Amino acid sequence: MSLVILLAVVVLAGAVLSVQAAINGRLGESVGVLRSSLLTFFVGAVITGLLIVFFEPAHTLSLLDVPKWQVCGALFGVVYMMVMVGAVPVVGTAVATVAVIVGQLGMGMLIDNFGWLGNPAIELSSSRVLAMVCLGLALVFMYRSSVRRSD
């Protein structure tokens, strides 16, 4: 798969996350944050289980054999889901999504720079810092414009 196609698929996945956040925000208002999160993870588990059965090639290690710190990544999905379900109805889908991206970019830059979690080190550059500043400003402007509208 070419890099351009891969990046397009990643951008599409980001778009799908925003749609999911908007839908789950409304569902969370109706049935509660935890029930909304449970439904999302249950449906995701069923679909992923079916994909594993029919499409996943065999691997030398199982989930029980990998280092335990690698398995803990699943816990972060729970935190993300519950925060987004609660935040979207309050601040809106766009502001919540940009806030998440600010957090993702900041942590991603730290992980890259220091090569944490077994990832290759990618040095922090001035263009990466500038991108972070621009995204931070985008969050401020988006939040301020949504606050003015709701007044």
The residue type found at 43 is: V
| Calpha distance 15→41 (Å, rounded) | 19
Token pair in block for residue 46: 């069923």
Read off the pLDDT of residues 53-82 as tens digits, 9 standing for 90 and up. 999 999 999 989 999 888 888 888 889 999
Read off the pLDDT of residues 109-147 as tens digits, 9 standing for 90 and up. 999 999 999 999 999 999 999 999 999 999 999 999 987
Read off the pLDDT of residues 25-45 as tens digits, 9 standing for 90 and up. 999 999 999 999 999 999 999
| Calpha distance 121→143 (Å, rounded) | 33
